[in-house]
Chains A and B, each alone.
Chain A
Amino acid sequence: MTLTPSSPGSAARRPRGAVRQSRAGTAFVAAYVVLLVAFGVLPTAYAVYFAFTDAGGKVTGFANFTATAHDFRFMDAVSHVAVYLAFWLLSLVVFVVALALLLHRLASGSASKALRFLYYIPGALAGAASVLVWLFMLDPTVSPVSSLLGMSGFHTFGEVIAPGNLPLLFTVIAFWTGAGGWIVVMYGALNNIPTDVMEAARIDGAGAWQTAWHVQIPMLRKWIVYMVILAFAGGAQLFVEPQLLSLASVGVAGRDYSLNQLTFDFAFQMNNINGAAAVSVELLVVSVSAAALFVARSGFFDAD
């Protein structure tokens, strides 16, 4: 920390630094590209190949897509994921922005530091482990908040995991595990808003509410879009939460709930890898289209 490398001083050194920088940049990007090709592009291409062929490798056009769409679980899974996404994205945008603004208000002092740490802790737990924590939280017989569950009218695990509650439960679990990281990111973005802008707002007599609504949130817009794009892609791939819940509840809730679980079933229980690939290609198309829409509408890549 104390050893600040080559202070960006004299103009004479700049060109050499720039060359070195661009070379380092290329090296970093190259490493990423190799990984992207090996673990992103190739598997995707493989899935697309599978989606349009049958088990023998013969091209079948859209047969896999229509066959999987006719499975009786398909439309259910689509609606489950759609409802979950609506809950999840809405809660993410509203609460993450609100909590980040709150955190920024408290910027000075140890309360802010403690809160930042608290928000981030759940994110540090690995995904599946944090879902397991919730499975305990939601079982009234072992839950530390069983009285709270009891007051809401839930006395057994079976009542808690009634089909109507699932989107909300998965949202709560996903928010708890995933939102902390985003709060910290938003907080960082808020810190990047130039102080003169904030000062101008204050001099013009804007209160906390007005500053947030008219200055901070508009300047956070790109970050919010970025968060929504990633959260949409992640949410559409809902898998761990329902899968673990279905194991914990011995199949009462969460079996064949999401599209990703359906692909898992197709691939490994019905020996239909090609059908599974078709569904995953659909997920890819939907996520990419949603991202494209958000990017186009928000001017995500426009220079300021």
Chain B
Amino acid sequence: MTVNKPSSGRERVFSKRRAALLAGCAATAALTLTACGGGATGTTTKDGFAQAPQKDGALTVWVDATRVEAAKLYQQQHPDVKLDIVTYDGDANGSNYLQTKVQLFNRTREGWPDVVFSAQNNEATWAVDAGFAAPLNKGLIPSASLGKFASGANDVCTVGGTVYCLRNDLSQAVLWYNAPLLKKFGYSVPTTWEEYQQLGEKVAKEHPGYLVGDAGDSYTPEIYLWASKCGANHITGPKSVSVNTTSEACTKMARLVDVLIKNKSMSISGVFSTDFGKNQADKVLLMPGPAWYGGAVFKGTFKTPAKQIAAAPIPQWKGDTSPSTGNVGGGTWLLSQHSTHIKAATDFLKWVTTDNAYQGEKAPGFPAYAPAAENWLKGQDASGYFASDLSALKAASSQVWPDWGSGQFSQEAIWAATVKPGMTQGKSIVSLLPAWQDSIVKYAKSNGYKVSQ
């Protein structure tokens, strides 16, 4: 036994090495072949793009951990469909996993998933150029269904008038607040940013430690500066952007946030940081934040008890006539041009974005498809977790300021790398605005954007 063992072990090592060798040779051969090989053959142009020959077989669906539930529910309701559910990070926090993989699949000319969920809403900016996303309003999805999405919801998916993805959820910002606590302190919900600042100053004096907001996340500019109509990210064309971070709209909001950070009524930890969860989660009085804060932050991360959290419209500047708010993310679904199961893929895509069974009842965020959103709001009211109805969310869904776009470069990444370290060192946001602009311009240019300032 003891004599035999090493020899068999050695054999195993050798065969492993041989396998690796073969794989290596095969990979090299494949690379050379694909490098020399020509384009795809046998495609038929239909629904606005060249479709690969259709085949039977499993439908490959890529989703993030949260959306696995949707895919599983679809499988349950459609037991005859062969579904291959693959979980990935959903491109959250700008990981660009999907883009990386698609670039690789484009080189090897195989392996693309049929339908993909992405937590980012700027996928259309590269997925169209990469020849991955299929046009959806050229025959695949009827215009009647497309028309029922909340107004502007699919703007991020539209390139040159063609829709290349469907929005999963909206992330319009509202003012979340702790209703019983606010009542106990004797405050009322601020409706203007001026009132909001005064309340923050009062809280700092009368109830130090309590918070009226957080400015530590990478999407902070999308909550405050977007709502204030700051023109930091105005995408004016497929490859052009206008950037101005030092206008009055930007500086007055930055000043407001600076005051509240200084008197410590606004945290700079970030709501998902371990620090916030441990020390500040039960000190939240007010919190401007996107629609998904209700479920993901208060209910999920902070475990705030039921009947405390309520939603109000985000404050407006005094004298402003049209209400405006920001938007933080909101996922999208893409269908692959290379799919060999387009019929099944389209069916899944339609179901997952519009069907009440998922979007209307189970979805964690505010559905982008308006009829499902109605149903979703009713469900939230019935669940009894929130201290108010969530009608503020519905109103805000059409008030997202349209001049803040979704470019190929990640605004969140730029803010995180440029402004956040300065804030940690105690610098004011106002003083960091020029550096922020500089950084946006550099990233935009390196991504091939024409920049006007």
Contacts and interface: CB of A to CB of B under 8 A. Distances in A.
Interface of A: 31, 34-35, 38-39, 42, 46, 71-73, 139-142, 156-159, 162-163, 247, 249-253, 255-256, 267-271, 273
B31 A46 contact: yes
Given A159-B424, A270-B446, A34 B21 contact: yes
Contacts of A247: 93, 95
B416 A252 contact: yes
A251 B103 contact: no
B412 interface: yes
Given A38-B25, A156-B275, A247-B95, 13 more contacts: A35-B17, A140-B275, A158-B216, A158-B420, A159-B424, A162-B424, A250-B272, A251-B412, A252-B416, A256-B417, A268-B96, A268-B100, A269-B99
B31 A252 contact: no
B384 interface: no
Contacts of A252: 218, 416-417, 420-421, 424
15 contacts: A31-B17, A38-B21, A71-B446, A72-B442, A72-B445, A73-B446, A156-B269, A157-B274, A162-B421, A250-B217, A252-B424, A253-B417, A255-B413, A256-B417, A268-B96
B424 A38 contact: no
A163 B93 CA distance: 20
A198 to B, nearest CB: 37
Contacts of B17: 31, 35
A268 B103 contact: yes
B96 A251 contact: no
A250 B270 contact: yes
Contacts of B269: 156, 158
B93 A250 contact: yes
Contacts of A42: 28
A179 to B, nearest CB: 29
B126 interface: yes
Contacts of A251: 93-94, 218, 410, 412-413, 416-417
Interface string B117-139: 00000000010011000000000
Nearest to B274: A141
A159 B217 CA distance: 15
B424 A158 contact: yes
B453 interface: no
Contacts of B55: none
B4 interface: no
B279 to A, nearest CB: 8
Nearest to B409: A269
Interface in B436-453: 442, 445-448
Contact of A267 (B21, B103, B268, B416): B103
Interface string B360-388: 00000000000000000000000000000
B278 interface: yes
Contact of A141 (B31, B275, B413, B447): B275
Interface of B: 17, 20-21, 24-25, 28, 31, 93-96, 99-100, 103-104, 126, 129-130, 216-218, 268-270, 272-275, 278-279, 410, 412-413, 416-417, 420-421, 424-425, 442, 445-448
A247 B100 CA distance: 16
Contacts of A250: 93, 217-218, 270, 272, 416
B421 A253 contact: yes
A296 to B, nearest CB: 33
A72 B446 contact: yes
A261 to B, nearest CB: 12
Contacts of B126: 269, 271
Nearest to B438: A72
- 8 shortest A-B CB distances, which residue pairs? A251-B416, A38-B24, A268-B100, A158-B424, A141-B274, A72-B442, A251-B413, A252-B420
Nearest to A257: B417
Contacts of B218: 250-252
Most B CB within 10 A of own CB, among A72, A141, A142, A252:
A252
A34 B269 CA distance: 53
B424 A156 contact: yes
A196 to B, nearest CB: 37
Contacts of A158: 216, 268-269, 420-421, 424
A157 B273 contact: yes
Contacts of A267: 103
Contacts of A142: 274
Contacts of A140: 275
Nearest to B101: A268
A267 B102 CA distance: 12
Nearest to B415: A251
A50 B400 CA distance: 44
A157 B279 CA distance: 14
Most B CB within 10 A of own CB, among A31, A71, A158:
A158
A270 B416 CA distance: 20
A100 to B, nearest CB: 31
A46 B21 CA distance: 18
Nearest to B93: A250
A270 B443 CA distance: 11
A271 B103 contact: yes
Given A38-B28, A247-B93, A269-B99, A255 B21 contact: no
A270 B447 contact: yes
A34 B20 CA distance: 11
Contacts of B217: 250
B123 to A, nearest CB: 12
Contacts of B412: 251
A141 B278 contact: yes
Contact of B274 (A31, A139, A159, A162): A139
B100 A35 contact: no
Nearest to A256: B417
Contacts of A162: 421, 424-425
A268 B410 CA distance: 14
A251 B93 CA distance: 8
A234 B32 CA distance: 29
Contacts of A271: 103, 126, 129-130
A44 B424 CA distance: 42
Contacts of A73: 446
